[in-house]
């Protein structure tokens, strides 16, 4: 049985800056990282591999350079890493992205039964939290979002019990397999790759699937299959801060100066 982790390579948002003229992200020289929530999805798939004997597959849609992230997944221990990359997939919104990923999972399912698909609860670049649910809907899988604990997996009866972390409460849910699960950070603590695994993953094969393999209608993928698009991106303006007082030699004075400033600016009002 397969467990699929959907992972996305995202620009390290702490380092992203926006081009003030074109209103687009300046991606030059910005390192890419695995979407932090996805690293927990990946970790959980590896844990199921260890505990239940699932075969773990990492899946990512993105440009060819997303291979680096998939290679890292191999270093962490997934059995297969598959990159979904094609020019026609470019410019995709969440709908057409989920079309492509769902098609890939379906194709995987033709070879071996898919039990669980893990996604991060959202990505740190798009922040939509829509792709996971989109995949579930398109595949007809149970949809379990915001999961922070897997309570039980019953492979014989094809059921799963999970705990969802909601605002102010938990919800324990039982569902049928196959299921799509989006995960929160509290689910687990991601592992760190061993050096032998890093070295062997450097040579391992990251499979690349284009639309030749998936055979999707080009009008349902990429920009053409996207009913939404980003029209403008900008960072909110923020005034330059200032240093007041001298916290080292006069911490008391600095604190009272700060307090005065806050009171004057009416910033302490409740």
Partner 1 sequence: MELTLFTALLTVSLATFAFSCYRRLSLVTVGRSEHRFDRPVDRLKEMLVYAVGQKRVVSRPFGLNHGIIFWAFLVLALANLEFLVSGIAPALSFALLPAPLHGALLLLFDACSLAAFAAVVIAAVRRTAWPPFDGARTFEAYFILSMIAILMLAYFGLNGVRIAQGVLPSTSATPVSNLVAGLLQATPAAAHLETAGNIFWWIHAVVLLGFMNFLPYSKHMHILTAIPNVFLRSMGKCNTQERETFLEGNSFGAATLEQLSWKDLLDSFSCTECGRCQQSCPAASTGKQLNPRQVIHALKENLLKNGGVMAKLSGDRAAERQISLIGSGENGSTRDAALWSCTSCGACMEVCPVFIEHLPKIVKMRRHMVQMEATFPVELLNLFENMEQRSNPWGMAPSERSKWSSQLNLRPFEAGETEYLLFVGCSGAFDARNKQVSVALTRVLDAAGVSYGVLGKEEKCCGDSVRRLGNEYLFDQMAKQAVQQFVAKGVAKVITQCPHCFTTLKNDYRQYGLELEVIHHSELINDLLKTGRLKTDGSGDVGRVVFHDSCYLGRHNDVYDAPREALTMATGREPLEMGRNRGNAFCCGGGGGRMWLEEHEGTPINRNRVQEALAQQPEMICVSCPFCMTMFEDGIKELTGTNAQVRDIAEVVALSLQPSLLPPSSS
What's the closest the beta carbon of residue 200 comes to partner 1, in angstroms?
A: 6
Q: Does 109 bind partner 1 (CB under 8 A)?
A: no
CA 106 – CA 100 distance, rounded (Å)? 10
Per the CB < 8 A criterion, the answer to whether 139 and 102 are in contact is: yes
Using alpha carbons only, what angle is made at residue 3 by residues 62 and 32, rounded to the nearest 5 degrees? 30
Size of the site for partner 1 (CB under 8 A): 21
State which H helix or E strand residue 137 sits in: helix 131-139
**Candidate residues 91, 109, 126, 193; the one interacting with partner 1 per rule CB under 8 A:** 193
Coil, helix or strand for 94?
Answer: helix
Is residue 194 a contact residue for partner 1 (CB under 8 A)? yes
Closer Cβ to partner 1, 35 or 142, answer by number: 35
Smaller CB distance to partner 1: residue 4 or 70?
70
Q: Which stretch binds partner 1 (CB under 8 A): 13-21, 47-55, 146-154, 159-167?
A: 13-21
Contact between 17 and partner 1 per CB under 8 A: yes
Residues 172-191 within binding reach of partner 1 (CB under 8 A):
189-191
- Residue 203 in the binding site for partner 1 (CB under 8 A): yes
Asked whether 124 and 256 are in contact (CB, 8 A), the reply is no
Torsion of Cα atoms, 111 then 203 then 81 then 95, to 10°: -130
Which residues in the 218-247 window bind partner 1 by CB under 8 A?
243, 246
The DSSP code sequence of 204-224 is: SPPEEE-HHHH---GGGSTTT
Residue ranges binding partner 1 (CB under 8 A): 12, 14-15, 17, 31, 33, 189-196, 198-200, 203, 243, 246, 248
């Amino acid at each position: 049985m397969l467990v699929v982790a959907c992972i996305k390579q995202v620009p390290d948002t702490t380092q992203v800056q926006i081009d003030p003229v074109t209103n687009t992200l300046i991606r030059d020289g910005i390192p890419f990282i695995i979407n932090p929530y996805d690293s927990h999805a990946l970790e959980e798939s590896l844990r199921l591999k260890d505990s239940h004997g699932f075969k773990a597959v990492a899946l990512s849609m993105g440009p060819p350079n997303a291979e680096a992230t998939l290679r890292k997944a191999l270093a962490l221990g997934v059995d297969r890493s598959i990159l979904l990359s094609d020019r026609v997939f470019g410019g995709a919104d969440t709908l057409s992205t989920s079309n492509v990923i769902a098609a890939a999972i379906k194709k995987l399912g033709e070879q071996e039964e898919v039990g669980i698909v893990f996604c991060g609860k959202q990505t740190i670049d798009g922040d939509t939290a829509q792709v996971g649910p989109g995949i579930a809907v398109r595949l007809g899988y149970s949809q379990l979002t915001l999961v922070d604990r897997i309570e039980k997996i019953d492979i014989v009866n094809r059921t799963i019990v999970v705990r969802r972390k909601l605002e102010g409460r938990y919800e324990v849910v039982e569902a049928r397999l196959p299921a799509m699960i989006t995960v929160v950070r509290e689910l687990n603590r991601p592992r760190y790759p061993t050096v032998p695994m890093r070295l062997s993953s450097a040579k391992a094969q990251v499979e690349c699937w284009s639309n030749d393999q998936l055979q999707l209608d080009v009008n349902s993928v990429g920009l053409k299959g996207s009913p939404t698009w980003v029209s403008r991106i900008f960072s909110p303006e923020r005034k330059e801060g200032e240093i007041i007082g001298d916290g080292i030699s006069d911490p008391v004075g600095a604190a009272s100066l700060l307090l005065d400033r806050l009171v004057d600016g009416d910033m302490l009002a409740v």
